Amino acid sequence: MSQIELSDIFSVDREGKPTMKIVLFGPPLSGKTSMLTVFNALRRMENPETIVSSLTKIQDDSGRTVFFDQGVFQTPPFKGKKFDRLRYQLWTIPGEERHKVQREIVMKGVDGVLLFLNFEKNAKEMNNATILEAKEIVGEEFGEKIPVVAYINKSDLSIEERIDKREIIQKLIDEGAIHSDKAANYVMTGSCLDARNDLLSILTSKSTDEYFDESNRLRVDKRPEPVWLIVRPIQKLTQLVVEQRLQYVQNI
């Protein structure tokens, strides 16, 4: 086969650009909207060219998502190479139980699922229900043709306030979301709250020169650790989707 282009293996959007659809699927109040908001702010600070369209949030007056949040991003150009820039759409679902129909609509055409779980002790049942529902909606491709990465949010809580991570991992394995040998790489933790606070303190810091380059962009080597932790699951999942697609075309 001649050289594979990204547009051969991904659906293309209205502008003819290859695009993948990633959904942050998780229980109510776990922090999905917060994650997308922080991620979008980070892209804007580091490289505004990676934002394809501004964030859409469909929520009620109290900030609860009633349909979805959505943002479209793209990889930076590969230096010196004429290779398509890959676009990735990030969607969130409304976590409240009563919005199941909306969740099913948002999940249509999903290429990768970010199971977005909550460390809070009282969220145990809701985490489990989320895993089951995601599996039910995606069907037999869940964790197979449709890659799944799990992220547990609110790691800033004290150990007494948190569910034991091993318990969550076991549930993910039992439900076939994550293979047991991959748990160490596919289950991540972090805190959107810490990430947001760190970005805010950079923006309000007196020594901004230390963080920004001459084009006023936040230097990637200055990315605070909590911010890395929320970028990692998105990076990992987009990478898995690409690998999965390449494998698929090689098997034709």
For position 28 contacting ligand GTP by CB under 6 A, the verdict is yes
Is 13 a residue that touches ligand GTP (CB under 6 A)? no
Which residues inside 55-84 make contact with ligand GTP, applying CB under 6 A? 63-65
**What gap in Å lies between CA 38 and CA 213, rounded to an integer?**
21
Residue 246 Cβ vs ligand GTP, minimum distance, rounded to whole Å: 32
Q: Helices in 75-214 by DSSP H: which ranges?
A: 100-106, 124-138, 165-174, 183-186, 192-203
Nearer to Mg ion, 93 or 169 (CB): 93
Among 177, 192, 202, 241, binds ligand GTP (CB under 6 A): 192
Minimal distance in Å, beta carbon 236 to ligand GTP? 18
d(CA 227, CA 183): 21
CB of 130 to ligand GTP, least distance (A): 10
Sign of CA dihedral 241, 26, 152, 55: positive
Q: How far is CA 3 from the centre of its chain?
A: 29
Q: Using CB under 5 A as the criterion, what x/- string covers residues 51-70 for binding Mg ion?
A: --------------x-----
Question: CA angle 67-140-75, nearest 5°?
Answer: 55
Q: Which is nearer to ligand GTP, 84 or 120 (CB)?
A: 120
Q: Which residues contact 166 (CB under 8 A, 6 or more apart)?
A: none
Binds ligand GTP by CB under 6 A, chosen from 173, 183, 193, 231: 193
Using CB under 5 A as the criterion, which residues of the chain lie in contact with Mg ion when the complex forms?
Answer: 32-33, 65
